Amino acid sequence: MFTNDQRQKELTGKSGTLRLQYLHVLLELVAQFQNASSEETKEKIIANLGNFAYDPYNYTFSSNPNEKLVEFVVGGICNACADPTNDAVIIQCDGIPLVIECVSSPVRNTVNYALGSLYYLCNATTEDEILKPEIVEAIERFSAAGSVNTGFSNLAQACP
């Protein structure tokens, strides 16, 4: 399920994996999704992207300027961090700063996923890291935007 450097070496041997090539494959999957007409094909592609996003080992490979890929990755993180076991792994792998970066994304879904992730990740241990003044300010802005964007407002109001 989750991997780390040691496990990755065990799986791939001395030569390792070509992670950048793997990212190019993921970008190709995004392009295929955008061009796909079959719902079944789209579902398979999203499942593959979700599997990539689900593993915190891939966070360091997902800081990519492709906003669609970032959206899918943070969406996977949001889905995964609702489970306390995954939450702990995301925190241990320093995923919180990467999620925080997504709060300023120009893509609405990415911001929603980031806020949802921070909601699940925020606890007594992580609140100092998550509830920094700039994040609280962003949450307050989103919360006040009720008539402009109800989704942001509702999610922001749920945040601590």
DSSP 55-71: -GGGGGG---S-HHHHH
Q: Residue 71: its pLDDT value, please? A: 86
Q: Residue 3: its pLDDT value, please? A: 55
Average pLDDT over residues 13-42: 72
Q: Residue 145: its pLDDT value, please? A: 63
Q: Which residue has the higher pLDDT, 37 or 42?
A: 37
Question: In this structure, what are the phi and psi dihedrals at residue 55, rounded to the nearest 5 degrees?
Answer: -95, 115
State yes or no: pLDDT of 113 exceeds 80: yes
Question: In this structure, what are the phi and psi dihedrals at residue 52, rounded to the nearest 5 degrees?
Answer: -65, -45
Q: Residue 2: its pLDDT value, please? A: 47
The model's pLDDT over 54-84, given as tens digits with 9 standing for 90+, comes to 555 555 554 446 788 788 888 888 888 888 8
Q: Which residues contact 102 (CB under 8 A, 6 or more apart)?
A: 70, 74, 110, 111, 113, 114, 117
Q: Is the separation of the CB atoms in 36 and 45 below 8 Å?
A: yes
Q: Residue 147: its pLDDT value, please? A: 55
Range scoring the smallest mean pLDDT among 18-27, 67-76, 122-131 = 18-27
State yes or no: pLDDT of 30 exceeds 60: yes
Quote the CA–CA distance of 17 and 20 in Å, as a whole number. 9
